[in-house]
Structure 1
Amino acid sequence: MCGIFGWVLGPAKHQDRDTLIKLTDLMLHRGPDGSGYRLYETAERYQIGFGHRRLSIIDIGGGAQPMATEDGRFSLVFNGEIYNYLELRKQLVSLGHHFRTDSDTEVLIEAYRAWQLDSVRRLRGMFAFALWDDAEQRLVLARDAFGKKPLFLAEAQGAVLFGSEIEPLVQFPGFSRALDSDALGHYLLNRYVPGPSTFFQSVKKLQPGHCAVWQNGMLKSTRYYTPPFATTVPDVKEFNDAIRLFEGAFDEAVRIRMRSDAPYGAYLSGGIDSSAVVATMVKHSTEPVRTFSVGFREAGYSELDHARVIAGQFGTIHNDLIVEPGAFMDHWSTAILRRGAPVSEASDIPIFMLSEMASRSVKMVLTGEGADELMGGYPKYRAERWIGLYQWLIPHLLHERLIRPLVRSLPYGMRRAKIVALAAGERDLANRMRVWFGGLSVGESEAMLGRLLSATPPDLFPYSSQIGSSLRRMLFFDQTSWLPDNLLERGDRMMMAGSIEGRMPFMDTVLAGVVARFPDDFLTGGKGGKRVLRAAMDKILPSEIIRRKKIGFRVPIEEWFRGPYREFLRDMLVSETSCVAQMVSGDRLRQLVTEHLDARQNHERLLWSFVNLEIFLRAFKVAS
């Protein structure tokens, strides 16, 4: 697990080694254990720069990067882990390949030597890498199937910058920090910026499941992976068969993610997802598993008691962290700097804080991220299955003229009911996906910005309408947009900000292929969704964990905005120094703040989005 940075520069734009070191070391938090830097020159006098910061987990003594082969043909910088590297190594040895180290990095190089670009299809892991092939004079960039590891790109006039985070790119000499105005609109609609866009005109994300090849001054990207919910026809008929198939695939997904030469543990919320991970880890561990939980003093926001139940049952070495408003504030701006964007979810920051604490005793943790988006856990999945019927019974005009205004007038305590009602009336799939996340509508966003929006998503792939059912369309969207551009982005950036690697067994490609074979009722059927997961854990976890209502990891931002953050909120959004107030309708912004502070409405999500946007604009000195 590491941070990578590098470039391809034309003859007139070469940089010195000091620049490479300085920019790579902006990601010291991603790799405090070691560093490496190397400059190459191509036959056409392009300069290749590779920088690397290392968090040592596999082959601690032998996995230093950049790594070059003995014959000098291949050089690699790599961020991530290849969980099936032992199986791949055995296969490559049988093909005649030789290894000098025990690292998964060298396995990645030799896999490319053997299978070229097709090698990425064989990798079961999380990764972003840059590989220079001197014989072919080409640079290969790749990102893992679900986008657990980031790779940002900036391309201009044959030159390419790439990195694990945005900050090294925008600090590059002469780099333009111009704001992408379309990205601002998408942020209001989604509460995050969908890939491949970022807030900077000059920076793009390499999309999940993509490879990009630079050769002869040209960069071309291709998709190598599509989540199986788009292509797999459900063929598992018996529920007990589904449980058996899930148990086998999940057990293996957890087991191979426990491969480590450094101490490791797990993040434990007390929900079924992380509890299932911990229960499976205990089965494969010869020592007590270390677990880490985070919570709050405010009633209704903490799951620490549930986490302690699981820790007690499985005999883990357990650690709690209570987040106070002051400590949260102290970490807020750093979280935005590490993310390179406004923080979409308030829960990012407690995870950052928990990672700092966990890094004192472990270097890697397993987490439950992705379970809801794979197994069908959110209430919206169950609601989505009935929206077609609602729209057949209720004409669009009736919804817009009667039901929508009525829903908008509901008191702030009915936020979830309002979202369901508004989503039910939205006939456009892309807009309905946005409504579920609590962003602004297209009309509201245009009124806020005072201009028409380009509401077409920057990538239409997540909005495929050719998938078999409404549930599978929504799961596919979440797996290709919501996860990589929000939750998995949080998992990478916030854990690495605390120098911790996060591994996510539910985000396993083999497991995803198994679950895609289940019919819809095996996923969302029954109380609480995730029917197969609950059944598989029924004899392992306490009934109070299996059957308790889903809470989600919530931060008491609603209360904090009305309490300790009251003046901070005003300063960020309605003061003369506010950047956001100059970009959007000041009157509407003041109305949102006033209604929330007076407890007439709960605008915590929108206000959170605007405050984070303000901090981001100030931290990165973005040119509007």
Structure 2
Amino acid sequence: MCGFVGFAAAKLEQAEARATIKAMGDLIAHRGPDGEGFYVDERVALGHRRLSIIDLEGGTQPMFNEDGSLVVVFNGEIYNFQALRAELEAAGHTFSTRSDTEVLLHGYEQWGEDMPAKLRGMFAFMLWDKKNETLFGARDIFGIKPYYYYNQGGHFLFGSEIKSFLPHPGFVKELNEERLPEYLSIEYIPGEETMFRGVYKLPGAHWLRWKDGKLKTHRYFDIRFQADESLTDEEWQKKITEVFSESVAAHQIADVEVGCFLSSGVDSSFVVNEVAKGTPHVKSFSVGYEEEKYSELPYAQAFSKEIGVPSIANKVNADEFFEANQTIQWYLDEPMPNPSEVPLYFLTKNAAKYVKVVLSGEGADELFGGYPMYCAAWHFAGYSKTPAPLRKAAAALAKRLPAFKGKNFVMRGAMEPWQRFMRANYVFSTPAERDQYLKKDYHSKKPEEWFKPYFDQVKGLDEPTQLQWVDIHTWMLYDILLKADRMSMANSLELRVPFLDREVLKVATALPARLRSGKEQTKIALRRAAMAQLPESVAKRKKLGFPVPLNDWLRQDKYYNMVREKFEGEVCAKFFVPEACIRLLDSHKNGTAKPGAMTQIWSIYSFILWYEQFFVLR
């Protein structure tokens, strides 16, 4: 696990370029404290920060091919690199290291732009082809590893984190203010834009090519759900067990010790149990709170004791939680108000004292149907068979009637799936509710309209599967995986996700929808596979996520006043209506606020902290 930076232009002054690329690399030193490397020529500058995991002695970067005509910087792990290496050696290529990085160089020589589609792993890389004066890069199919670029004013910048662009003299740091409403509603921008104007995310499963100042991006892999009804439920259970076991084994490839994260849920428990089969004394890491009612530690520690795995835990208190927030917003690059990022930050900080690599359970919910809203979608799926005119007429009538049981269902049942997608208004229930806190009218489209293009691509699927596909391409990519990467890399820890594997994906996307979720159950087939190996109490446990006692803390004077101080400050007045923000905070404190007020307060507060980090303090 590492980080890379780079830039290109029609002509570079090399001494200046060397100083710039070094400064850019220094800003992501946390991604790779074990070493640094740089390459500069008349067109391109590449920088790399290394966290040594595989081939500790020989895997330094930037790395070159035999004649020096290709140079690459790379972040991630290629889990099938040994098989690819054997194939390339059979084709006549000669390797000089044991590193997976070298497969990218020879793979590009052999397969060109078809190379990324052959890779199994988590990766982001940029390769400079000197002979053809072409930059070529790609991101893994899920988007596990980050990739940003900026192509303005004759300067092409790229790297693992946006903050690395700050030292470049051609980078114009400017807030993408028009996207503030989307951030407030959704927690992130559900597309390629970022909160920095002109900075874009390369989506998962895409490659990019830069040549003569022209940039092209291309999707090289599609995730498609296509149910296979030919297998029995028992055969699917066996298939899941086998492919997951193989994926966990592949994700343990390393020349350093590998540990595991362990929460109270089935996903991480399944991972730890699988690793423990071959590594009985694997270290597991858990985090909780001093407030026991919010802590998952008792469940995690009981499970680790039952399977004989060492448990290393730490607790977070309110002071630590609030003190860490500004630092966390700096590491995130873009504002993110998901409170679970804070315990994750402390979890990775503690784990990094013991190991360099951990396995985690991200991705299981999206691939195998783990969110409650998928259950709700099954109810709508049945109602959607009623002719649309009848559903719309019923909704119009229900709207005029007083409250009754099922009114909300009837009204939402007349909508299309993209219109009732709950993540679109994740923080505020409507744009009107959100806009009362904004100083300006941005004339933004409704949050759900951002998701319509995603739903349009999977119209033929049942509604629960549509939600899964959209989650994989939005929520998982722009929230879950970003949070996991930034919080682990902030503490120089490599986080691997064995559920997000190409072979596991093949099984998940072929699994019949009824075995992913139902009206009352989530992750049906995955839980059955887990139940065969885990205690029943773990396999059946409902999803908790990372529960946070923030609701309670914001009612305490000390933390209430910390937030209020920001709401009374200059940044809040620049973008928000301070009086409205303070009323929201006060109503939460005195218990009169509507449900969800804490999330709304935290979204505004997190943006202020982030803006201060990038536009006031630096």
TM-score (norm 2): 0.92
Match of 2:535 among 509, 534, 542: 542
- Please tell me whether residue 120 in structure 1 is matched to residue 109 in structure 2: no
Determine the C-alpha separation between the residues in 1 that align with 2:289 and 2:585: 24
2:561 is matched with which residue? 567
Q: In 1, are the aligned partners of 2:265 and 2:542 still within 8 Å (CA)? A: no
State the one-letter code of the partner of 1:344.
P
Determine the C-alpha separation between the residues in 2 that align with 1:565 and 1:327: 11
After TM superposition, give the deviation of residue 234 of structure 1 in Å.
3.4
- Please tell me whether residue 7 in structure 1 is matched to residue 7 in structure 2: yes
Structure 1 residues 582-621: aligned runs within 5 Å: 582-601=574-593, 602=595, 603-621=597-615
1:74 is matched with which residue? 70
Structure 1 residues 216-615: aligned runs within 5 Å: 216-229=212-225, 232-285=226-279, 287-389=280-382, 395-398=394-397, 400=399, 427=416, 429=418, 432-435=421-424, 437-449=426-438, 450-451=440-441, 452-455=443-446, 456-457=449-450, 460-461=453-454, 464-525=457-518, 528-563=521-556, 564-573=558-567, 575=568, 577-601=569-593, 602=595, 603-615=597-609
Query: Alignment partner of 1:516: what SS?
Result: helix
Determine the C-alpha separation between the residues in 2 that align with 1:7 and 1:419: 52
Moved more, 337-346 or 11-20: 11-20
Q: In 1, are the aligned partners of 2:186 and 2:425 still within 8 Å (CA)? A: no
Determine the C-alpha separation between the residues in 2 that align with 1:418 and 1:105: 57
- In structure 2, the gaps of 5 or more residues are none
After TM superposition, give the deviation of residue 615 of structure 1 in Å.
0.3
Query: Alignment partner of 1:320: what SS?
Result: strand
Q: In 2, are the aligned partners of 1:152 and 1:162 still within 8 Å (CA)? A: yes
Determine the C-alpha separation between the residues in 2 that align with 1:346 and 1:223: 32
Structure 1 residues 101-120: aligned runs within 5 Å: 101-120=97-116
Structure 1 residues 155-170: aligned runs within 5 Å: 155-170=151-166
After TM superposition, give the deviation of residue 219 of structure 1 in Å.
0.5
After TM superposition, give the deviation of residue 389 of structure 1 in Å.
4.9
Distance 1:482 1:542, change over 3 A: same
Q: Deviations over 1:577-617 (max 9, x none)?
A: 14234323344323321221111224111111111000011
Q: Deviations over 1:85-107 (max 9, x none)?
A: 11111111111111100000001
Q: In 2, are the aligned partners of 1:179 and 1:622 still within 8 Å (CA)? A: no
Q: Deviations over 1:431-457 (max 9, x none)?
A: 624356344423333444342213442
Determine the C-alpha separation between the residues in 2 that align with 1:323 and 1:418: 42
Query: Alignment partner of 1:346: what SS?
Result: coil
Distance 1:277 1:364, change over 3 A: same
Distance 1:331 1:464, change over 3 A: same
Determine the C-alpha separation between the residues in 1 that align with 2:531 and 2:247: 19
Distance 1:12 1:317, change over 3 A: closer
Moved more, 8-17 or 309-318: 8-17
Moved more, 255-264 or 352-361: 352-361
Structure 1 residues 91-110: aligned runs within 5 Å: 91-110=87-106
After TM superposition, give the deviation of residue 540 of structure 1 in Å.
1.3
Determine the C-alpha separation between the residues in 2 that align with 1:385 and 1:69: 53
2:24 is matched with which residue? 23
TM-score (norm 1): 0.91
- Please tell me whether residue 148 in structure 1 is matched to residue 144 in structure 2: yes
Q: Deviations over 1:231-264 (max 9, x none)?
A: x243344111211111111111111000000111
After TM superposition, give the deviation of residue 526 of structure 1 in Å.
7.6
Distance 1:418 1:194, change over 3 A: farther
Q: CA RMSD in A?
A: 2.4
Query: Alignment partner of 1:75: what SS?
Result: strand
2:197 is matched with which residue? 201
Distance 1:398 1:177, change over 3 A: farther
Distance 1:525 1:221, change over 3 A: same
Distance 1:460 1:182, change over 3 A: farther
Determine the C-alpha separation between the residues in 1 that align with 2:229 and 2:354: 45
- In structure 1, the gaps of 5 or more residues are 42-46, 408-416
- Please tell me whether residue 33 in structure 1 is matched to residue 34 in structure 2: yes
Match of 1:215 among 195, 203, 211: 211
Determine the C-alpha separation between the residues in 2 that align with 1:212 and 1:556: 43
Q: Deviations over 1:189-221 (max 9, x none)?
A: 212122311111121111111100001110100
Determine the C-alpha separation between the residues in 1 that align with 2:51 and 2:408: 42
Q: In 2, are the aligned partners of 1:39 and 1:50 still within 8 Å (CA)? A: yes
State the one-letter code of the partner of 1:277.
V
Determine the C-alpha separation between the residues in 1 that align with 2:218 and 2:190: 18
Determine the C-alpha separation between the residues in 1 that align with 2:140 and 2:292: 39
